[in-house]
Chains A and B, each alone.
Chain A
Amino acid sequence: MSKKVLVIGEAREGSLRNVTFEAIAAANIVSDGGEVVGVLCGSGDLEPLGQEMVYYGAEKVVTISNEELKTYTSDGYSQAIQEVIDEESPEGIIMGHTAIGKDLTPKLASRLESGLISDATEVVAEGGNIVFTRPIFSGKAFEKKQITDGLVFATIRPNNIPALERDDSLSGQVVAKDVTISNIRTIIKDVIRKSSDGVDLSEAKVIVAGGRGVKSAEGFEPLTELADVLGGTVGASRGACDAGYCDYSLQIGQTGKVVTPDLYIACGISGAIQHLAGMSNSKIIVAVNKDPEANIFNVADYGIVGDLFDVVPKLIEEIKAMKVNA
């Protein structure tokens, strides 16, 4: 049965997050030939971003630009999006399972008295039903879930559901909507940005992650170089963050970011379950650890038992050499 599905888009530093395009692809499956409508909140000119959502498969995008929506607040965004929901009466809603998605969607679902399936890694249409797969028990198991009553509402884990090919011959309406925002109960006093140069860990294809075994902030330098030659980015365990070797914005795991890159190289990370919760679904995992008994080897596809300060520089040289020969 075809449905109208709303996709809540998310921009960061002026561009859309990739998960927004993935959400459009998921919405496309849920809609089963129905209409996919995007909604985007923010400030300034949102029309180019709305247009971008069209190129990725949204048939219509409602943009809401308002100074009150410049930074995310749950009250501001939920008011604005609620108005779009009232107007469009969608039968489905999809959003990324990001910090904003996690904060916003339960409130909307609660207000709408609807079900919500959070953190889905797969969406399929099976005999007229939409079935979502999601990890449970820190990724040690998976469940297939479906909505039994009302709105098909879900958030999707970044980097799992492939976006549709961008096609700038697609056309669609981008409609600006005015919303009066009142009653924001939480005032943002300050945001201390820790994220390094805008790389979104949850969307990276290659991650080189360091743990307590990296031993110092300087110890991260070879890891950064390895990430650079691989066209990837650096991540970390809680152990490394707590020790002050790197920033919490790099933390991967249950408390930090959940990542699913094509290649994850864990250096000096023991492999605690809370860390695995954030990376065990990576396509290929490489572990470098001097302890052959380290738990990380249980999830690794390839392992090297050794000192990371010996292994990592050698890896950098070898990959450089490979690139020269290619």
Chain B
Amino acid sequence: MNIFVLLKRTFDTEEKIAINNGRIEDDGAEYIINPYDEYAVEEAINIRDEHGGEVTVVTIGDEDAEKQLRTALAMGADQAVLINTEDDLEEGDQFTTVKILEAFFDDREADIILAGNVAIDEASGQVGPRLAERLNMSCVTTITSITIDGDTANIERDVEGDVEKVETSLPLLVTCQQGLNEPRYPSLPGIMKAKKKPLEELEIDDLDLEEDDVEPKTKTIEIFLPPEKQAGKVLEGEMDDQVKELVSLLKTEAKVL
């Protein structure tokens, strides 16, 4: 089976956010594999182990994303592709990303593509379903379980807490939700092996794309931090008095009762 994972390199979940010159300050920030994409990598490896085939992890980004790709290889993916846009493109949005991925998948004959449900930084959740539409693949979002039998996939998906059971057929794109699995940590031998696994680097030129083809449809005009929250009031004193004070504050100061 020809299995692909879409992986985004994101800021570490715990990273503090600061703005410098109108941009998110990334100096010294720690980066991780987008957590929902870790579920995708784990599931891809499990599908391969059960059905055979290869797992290819794909990311669009710059050279620094090699680290996250190597981590996915160390977890057990077979090969990685870095589509490096650093020298060619300044701006991009979800339309851009999907245009590039569409071109990439043109001749790849994917049986299944696993993406994250959402990236924890920009968090649009668009890339998976957008790509499925371009590739004319059936698409199931926010999955928490998948079993494949021949060309048929039986899937459970999370719909605002309800569980929807669906059946569909390959080729297929799914987006992964928390609950799907517990991603493994790369093992030491895994890390050693990952260093020798193939990592292909492509530029948009290699995908027969030009800058104009991928021009974004949206633009960010400002980034700002939420208004600094005044330090909350932690109440003190006898518990009975604290509760009385709280109710009174909610009523007269916060005006929510």
Shortest Cβ distance from residue A314 to the other chain B in the assembled complex, whole angstroms:
4
The answer to whether B168 and A314 touch across the interface, beta carbons within 8 angstroms, is: no
Contact residues in B for A191 (Cβ distance below 8 Å): 159, 162-165
A136 within 8 A of B: yes
The answer to whether B232 and A148 touch across the interface, beta carbons within 8 angstroms, is: no
- What's the Cα separation between A238 and B125 when bound, in Å? 20
**Chain B residues touching A, majority SS:** mixed
Shortest Cβ distance from residue B85 to the other chain A in the assembled complex, whole angstroms:
18
The answer to whether A107 and B133 touch across the interface, beta carbons within 8 angstroms, is: yes
Contact residues in B for A263 (Cβ distance below 8 Å): 250, 254, 256-257
- What's the Cα separation between A135 and B242 when bound, in Å? 34
Contact residues in A for B19 (Cβ distance below 8 Å): 141
A113 within 8 A of B: yes
- Which one of A38-46, A51-59, A216-224, A298-306 is at the interface? A298-306
A251 within 8 A of B: yes
Task: Give the total of B residues in contact with A, Cβ under 8 Å.
Answer: 80
Which of A110, A143, A187 meets B167, CB within 8 Å? A187
Shortest Cβ distance from residue A230 to the other chain B in the assembled complex, whole angstroms:
8
Contact residues in A for B219 (Cβ distance below 8 Å): 145-146, 148
- What's the Cα separation between A21 and B107 when bound, in Å? 44
Contact residues in A for B249 (Cβ distance below 8 Å): 302
B226 within 8 A of A: yes
Which of B164, B221, B247 meets A318, CB within 8 Å? B247
Contact residues in A for B244 (Cβ distance below 8 Å): 318
Contact residues in A for B203 (Cβ distance below 8 Å): none
Chain B, residues 151-180, CB within 8 Å of chain A (1/0): the string is: 000100011111111111100000001110
Which of B133, B234, B243 meets A315, CB within 8 Å? B243
The answer to whether B13 and A138 touch across the interface, beta carbons within 8 angstroms, is: yes
Return the chain B residue nearest A303 by Cβ: B234
Which of A109, A195, A305, A319 meets B257, CB within 8 Å? A319
A92 within 8 A of B: no
Contact residues in A for B243 (Cβ distance below 8 Å): 304, 311, 314-315, 318
Residues facing A in B127-145 (CB within 8 A) are: 127-134, 138-142
Return the chain B residue nearest A264 by Cβ: B256
Shortest Cβ distance from residue A129 to the other chain B in the assembled complex, whole angstroms:
9
Q: With A74-B139, A145-B218, A256-B161 as given contacts, are A322 and B247 in contact (CB-CB < 8 Å)?
A: yes
Shortest Cβ distance from residue A229 to the other chain B in the assembled complex, whole angstroms:
10
Which of A106, A192, A256, A277 meets B125, CB within 8 Å? A106
A250 within 8 A of B: yes
- Most chain B beta-carbon contacts within 10 A, residue among A138, A262, A297: A138
Return the chain A residue nearest B36 by Cβ: A255
- What's the Cα separation between A98 and B159 when bound, in Å? 9
The answer to whether A304 and B223 touch across the interface, beta carbons within 8 angstroms, is: no
Shortest Cβ distance from residue A277 to the other chain B in the assembled complex, whole angstroms:
8
Contact residues in A for B93 (Cβ distance below 8 Å): 115
Which of B216, B239, B246, B257 meets A148, CB within 8 Å? B216
- What's the Cα separation between A280 and B226 when bound, in Å? 10
24 A-B interface contacts by CB (under 8 A): A103-B141, A105-B126, A106-B130, A110-B134, A117-B124, A137-B24, A141-B19, A143-B220, A143-B222, A148-B217, A148-B219, A186-B167, A187-B167, A189-B166, A190-B164, A194-B162, A195-B162, A230-B257, A255-B178, A257-B160, A280-B226, A301-B233, A304-B242, A314-B240
Beyond contacts A107-B129, A140-B17, A292-B234: 16 other A-B pairs, Cβ-Cβ < 8 A, are A106-B124, A114-B217, A115-B95, A137-B121, A142-B223, A146-B219, A191-B163, A192-B163, A263-B250, A273-B13, A277-B120, A280-B226, A287-B232, A302-B249, A303-B235, A311-B239
Give the interface of B toward A (CB within 8 A).
11, 13-17, 19, 24, 93-95, 98, 117-118, 120-134, 138-142, 154, 158-169, 177-179, 215-226, 229, 232-235, 239-240, 242-244, 246-247, 249-251, 254, 256-257
Ranked nearest first, the 9 interchain pairs of A and B with the lowest CB-CB distance are: A249-B161, A115-B217, A185-B138, A110-B133, A110-B130, A106-B129, A106-B126, A118-B124, A115-B218
